[in-house]
């Protein structure tokens, strides 16, 4: 594997999940693999989990880690070919990606969408720009349209907590005051399509995700109906895809409550707005897996870095 850009770069989801669960028993088993190798983490946006878990994963593989808040600390990058750079951009992605490649063996990038221009966001100019011009492998730490490290951590969490061979998993939209990206919901959906599970997506009308991603998935606009007999409920807000980037609905009737959750396990990628997305009783209850998911971020990143290091 050269780059890890999307869920499609997971060569075998069950094998990677099994390997991650084994690795958890002995996280330093491959501590020589990354010796004298450097990972560069470039953040164009904020992070808590991704930054710390990816750094920890690299350290457990014996790697050195360099971190840069690229969005605020570096030059403003230009992405257009042939552009006359007489405006706000100072350095072209062509040089920047090649320069970063001189200092590390793997580069990982977080770059969120603007949620203003769908075509531009779907072009993923930061991630694909680095993948095109860097001479080292590129890892997606959440881009405009995907968060595959989160989806892999979620797959590990599902595997660890499933008590039946074909669980019912519901992805439920929730209200949020701000317009949020589709990346987590997209990657979770792509990952669920690789699982043997009954998978249902529920959201208000107008919040349909990219139909290319949800193709073949069951969509139910009635949240109560969707949640019936669920084993796992993954809650996430996203903005409208068709009315791109807009907040169409803030109906708190979609907030996840203990009553709606019933006996199901609760999942969320975090950060989460309490008592808007989900009520306290759920997050603080015994059926919440959110800290397990956050813990598994280390092992999803470690599996990905291990696969890349093995292929270097």
| CB 218 within 8 Å of CB 154 | no
Residue 7 per-residue DSSP state: G
143 binds ligand CP (CB under 6 A): no
Only one of the segments 45-53, 82-90, 165-173, 246-254 lies at the binding site for ligand CP (rule: CB under 6 A); that segment is 45-53
142 binds ligand CP (CB under 6 A): yes
Q: Between residues 188 and 241, which has the closer beta carbon with respect to ligand CP?
A: 188
Only one of the segments 10-18, 124-132, 208-216, 266-274 lies at the binding site for ligand CP (rule: CB under 6 A); that segment is 266-274
For 310, phi then psi, to 5°, come to -65, -25
Only one of the segments 87-95, 172-180, 232-240, 264-272 lies at the binding site for ligand CP (rule: CB under 6 A); that segment is 264-272
Q: Between residues 50 and 195, which has the closer beta carbon with respect to ligand CP?
A: 50
Q: Between residues 152 and 233, which has the closer beta carbon with respect to ligand CP?
A: 152
270 binds ligand CP (CB under 6 A): yes
Residue 26 per-residue DSSP state: -
CA angle 113, 115, 118 (to 5 degrees): 95
The binder of ligand CP chosen from 29, 38, 47, 258 (CB under 6 A)? 47
| Number of neighbours of residue 173 by Cβ within 10 angstroms | 20
Q: Strand 218-220 vs strand 198-202: parallel, antiparallel, or unpaired?
A: parallel
Whether the bond into 271 is cis, omega within 30 of 0: yes
Only one of the segments 43-51, 78-86, 98-106, 165-173 lies at the binding site for ligand CP (rule: CB under 6 A); that segment is 43-51
The binder of ligand CP chosen from 235, 269, 277, 301 (CB under 6 A)? 269
Tell me the H-state helices in the chain: 13-25, 49-60, 70-73, 93-101, 118-123, 125-133, 148-161, 183-192, 211-214, 223-227, 258-261, 280-283, 290-311
Among the listed residues 94, 9, 92, 20, the one whose alpha carbon sits nearest the alpha carbon of residue 301: 20
Distance in angstroms (rounded) separating the CA atoms of residues 133 and 130? 5
Q: Between residues 49 and 260, which has the closer beta carbon with respect to ligand CP?
A: 49
Distance in angstroms (rounded) separating the CA atoms of residues 273 and 280? 10
CB 269 → ligand CP: shortest distance, Å? Answer: 4
CB 299 → ligand CP: shortest distance, Å? Answer: 14
Q: Between residues 13 and 267, which has the closer beta carbon with respect to ligand CP?
A: 267
Q: Between residues 143 and 240, which has the closer beta carbon with respect to ligand CP?
A: 143
x/- mask, ligand CP, residues 184-223, rule CB under 6 A, reads: ----------------------------------------
| CB 41 within 8 Å of CB 130 | no
67 binds ligand CP (CB under 6 A): no
Footprint on this chain of ligand CP (rule: CB under 6 A): 47-50, 142, 150, 269-271
């Amino acid at each position: 594997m050269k780059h890890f850009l999307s869920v499609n770069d997971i060569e075998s989801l069950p094998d990677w999940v099994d390997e991650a669960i084994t690795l958890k028993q002995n996280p330093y088993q491959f501590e020589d693999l990354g010796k004298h190798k450097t990972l560069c983490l470039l953040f164009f946006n904020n992070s808590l989990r991704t930054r710390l878990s990816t750094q920890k994963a690299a350290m457990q593989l014996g790697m050195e880690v360099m971190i840069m808040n690229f969005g605020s600390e570096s030059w403003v990058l230009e992405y257009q070919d042939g552009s006359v750079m007489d405006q706000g951009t100072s350095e072209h992605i062509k040089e920047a990606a090649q320069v970063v490649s001189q200092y590390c063996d793997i580069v990982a990038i977080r770059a969120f969408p603007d949620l203003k221009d769908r075509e531009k966001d779907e072009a993923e100019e930061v991630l694909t720009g680095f993948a095109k011009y860097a001479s080292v492998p590129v890892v997606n730490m959440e881009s405009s349209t995907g968060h595959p490290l989160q989806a892999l951590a979620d797959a590990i969490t599902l595997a660890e907590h499933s008590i039946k061979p074909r669980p019912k998993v519901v992805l439920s939209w929730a209200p949020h005051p701000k317009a949020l990206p589709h990346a987590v919901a997209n990657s979770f959906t792509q990952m669920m399509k690789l699982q043997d599970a009954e998978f249902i997506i529920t959201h208000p009308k107008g919040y349909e995700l990219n139909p290319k991603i949800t193709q073949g998935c069951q969509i139910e606009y009635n949240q109560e109906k969707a949640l019936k007999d669920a084993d796992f409920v993954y809650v996430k807000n996203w903005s409208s895809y068709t009315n791109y980037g807009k907040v169409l609905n803030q109906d708190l009737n979609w907030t996840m409550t203990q009553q709606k959750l019933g006996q199901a396990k609760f999942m969320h990628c975090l950060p989460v707005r309490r008592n808007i997305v989900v009520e306290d009783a759920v997050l603080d209850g015994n059926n919440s897996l959110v800290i397990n998911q956050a813990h598994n971020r280390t092992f999803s990143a470690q599996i990905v870095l291990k696969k890349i290091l093995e292929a270097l």
